[in-house]
Structure 1
Amino acid sequence: MMKKTEIDKLTDEQMLDQLREYYKEYEKLPRILDIKRGKNIAYRFGTWNKALSLALGEDKVTSRDVSDEQILSAIRELNDKLGRLPRLRESKYGSTARRRFGSWNNALERALGDDNVHVHHDYDRKKIVEGYKRLSKELGYAASSNDIVKDKRMPSLIYIRKEFGSIIDLANEAGISKEVVERWRDYKLQNWTPEELISGYKRLEKQLGRIPVSKDITDCKWLPKPHVFVRVFGSLTQMRDDYNLAKPNSGQSPISKKTLVRQVAEFYKEHGRFPLKREFASYSNNSIDVLLARFKTSSVYTVWEEIINDPYFKEIIEKR
């Protein structure tokens, strides 16, 4: 009798979870080669597309039955929701629209009308500079890339960068110095001194009851984003070194494989699936690299396969 491989021991739902995790992490459909032993999954469900359909839903996998009007209607709804012209990758029918209408711009024109879609050749350098001046004056500061994207009167960033090189070059031509642009880019940074950042970090550590990682700082509503810490201190590790703050696993022996299995099992029990890389780092306070190193592999899916067959994992999952 042929011996079962590790992938054969996985249930259908566990296989489909791998596809869902990939889609959630990368926000695109996985190809068969993107998933470890994808061919086995395709064989289990008959075809790769069928596996994708079962995991993610028919609408995310194929758009063959979608009419032109449905595509155009979806573009209009997305335009209203965003308050600006949607990009191809933001629409669930983006690729289909491009194939169906010849280009994404053609689809936008069909959906929204020529008057509402920027035709870039109507913009000369002078008009763009005047538009940037006007926008900056309305905002009260040097307009950023995000401000330009949100303003329907301005051409796309791709066109601007092709014409000027960068937003800073455009600002310079509009009479706004590089220093002013950078000052507005870092306006959040100016409001935080190193001492205030350290104080906020310690407060978050006390609130969490553990050492905060980058994800915790990102999720914290009253702290600036991690890049501010990086700009001030160089890195979170450097900050901890300079201010004698506790480090993840400092003063402890290397984390055991059993502990990692327990952490994964607890997450699995709570969410019904394995964690994404960023979720594991936030949940266990250990980076995914620690997990991979402990299991001596470079593939997280190999780790999941080993863990799912671990008796300790099964014991935690089955425990009420």
Structure 2
Amino acid sequence: MKPRTRKNRKWSKELVQDEIRTWHAAGKPLYSHNVRKNFQELLAAGIRYFGNWQNAVASTGIAYDEVRKYQHWSKEVIVKKIQELHRQGVDLSFRSMMLSKYNSMVYAAIRPNHFGSWKSALEASGLAAEEIYRYRSWDESKIIDEIRKLKRMGADLSSKTMDETANPLIATARRRFGNWGNAVEKAGIDYDSVRRRRRWSRDQIIEGIRELRTQGVRLQSGDVRQHAPALFAAACKPRFFGSWSKALKAATA
């Protein structure tokens, strides 16, 4: 990027603020080194009218700590911000984050004395990077198909459980449909019925196990915990089968 210059431009406080907001809205890094490199005149005007660049940025209502390249992005702060963005359904793929206003956080995260890579930063935040990339490019039809598949498998589709067990899917669905309830309804499922805790029976558990087998899911306990946690939990309850092995035996008899 070539440095941006405008000769004989008449600067004012308001014009400096307008340019800063324009850069911020476009997702361009506002840390001083980048502005000095790409728009030196703006940096100089900001310092002239506000005393320093930090004051110039802060005068627009933008938190300067969020635009710094490295200084205040500790490992703890990075993890906290990633988790916060994840709850909001933000696309946390590397490319998307580098194009966002949080690119300074990504730069900090991939430094050797922090996490070394964006994938490691995601994992340190309790997120599975492969799941984030799996759902990122899904369109509405793929999301609907996945919801229907989970329904057939007996998964608990309440937002609370999905946030805990399939957060990348529910986050992507929220971006595509506005909220999780809309996505479930688009899949032809009454969301009011899944908001309440499902009442299992032995027959429903057996049916769910057989559906998993039809879907090609390995029926080992670890795989079932991941793909159908509600089914697994119900099968292991004393009033039903008491253990996964006994439920599996009943379903395959």
TM-score bucket (shorter structure) = 0.3 to 0.5
More relative contact order in 1 or in 2 (CA 8 Å, sep 6+)?
A: 2
What TM-score, normalized by structure 2, do the two folds share? 0.37
